[in-house]
Chain A
Amino acid sequence: KAGVTQTPRYLIKTRGQQVTLSCSPISGHRSVSWYQQTPGQGLQFLFEYFSETQRNKGNFPGRFSGRQFSNSRSEMNVSTLELGDSALYLCASSLTRSTGSGANVLTFGAGSRLTVL
C-alpha cells in the first residue's frame, strides 16, 4: 500500500515568487491536512480538506491557500514568498474525518522542503 506522496521533495525559490506543492494521499483516504514545520515554531497546522472542502484553517496569512481535487489529491500554494516561509511542508492523510472526541489516525508524507532566498 503506497504511502502519502509529496512532490517536489526539495525546491528553492526567491522572495516574491509563488510555489505550488502537491500531495497524493493514501488510496481511499479522503481527508488531507497540511502542516508547516520550522525549527523556531515547530509543526503548525495550515488547513484540512475533506471531500474537496476546506474544513479547518490555521492562523496563516491569506498568501497560503490550498485545494483538494475529486480524487482526494491536494495542492497548497504560497504566493509572494517571504524568507520566513522557508520550511518543511508536511501533508497528512486520514481515512475519515472524525467529528467526535477521538483523533484521526494521520499518516504523514516525507514533506516538501522549501528554501526561500
Chain B
Amino acid sequence: TQLLEQSPQFLSIQEGENLTVYCNSSSVFSSLQWYRQEPGEGPVLLVTVVTGGEVKKLKRLTFQFGDARKDSSLHITAAQPGDTGLYLCAGGAAGTASKLTFGTGTRLQVTL
C-alpha cells in the first residue's frame, strides 16, 4: 500500500512568514500533484510535477519533486491570509492517472 506522509500536520503562522510543507513516501510515484482545499469546497489543483528533481514556481509557491520521485515539498514565500487552507499532496502511478494516493494533509492558517 502506497502511503504519503505530510508534515507538519498543522501550521499557524503570521502574514509575511515563509513556510515549507513536506510530502514523503517510501514508494515511487510517476507524478506528484499538490492541491489546496478550503472549507466546504473540493480540492483545487495547484501543480503537477512528473520529473525527478523538477522544480515549479507558481507566484509565491515553489514546488519540488524529489530526485527519486518519492518525496515532494511546497514552499510558500511571504504567506498571506488567502493562503489559508488544507494542502494535500497526491501521488499518481503510471497508467492509473485518476487513481491518486493522497497525503495526510497539512492545515495552514495565516493570520494578520
Q: Which residues of A contact B (CB under 8 A)?
A: 4, 31, 33, 35, 42-45, 48, 55-56, 58, 90, 92, 94, 97-111
Cβ-Cβ contact count across A and B, 8 Å cutoff: 77
Please report the C-alpha to C-alpha distance between residue A31 and residue B98 in the assembled complex, in whole angstroms.
8
Shortest Cβ distance from A91 into B: residue: B42
What 3 pairs between A and B have smallest CB-CB spacing?
Answer: A108-B42, A103-B31, A98-B97
Closest chain-A Cβ to B47's Cβ sits at a distance in Å of 10
Chain A residues, Cβ within 8 Å of B98:
31, 33, 48, 55-56, 92, 94, 97-98, 104, 106
B99 CB within 8 Å of chain A: yes
Q: Are B50 and A102 in contact (CB under 8 A)?
A: yes
Chain A residues, Cβ within 8 Å of B94:
100-101
Chain A residues, Cβ within 8 Å of B48:
102-103, 105
B73 CB within 8 Å of chain A: no
Q: Are B97 and A104 in contact (CB under 8 A)?
A: yes
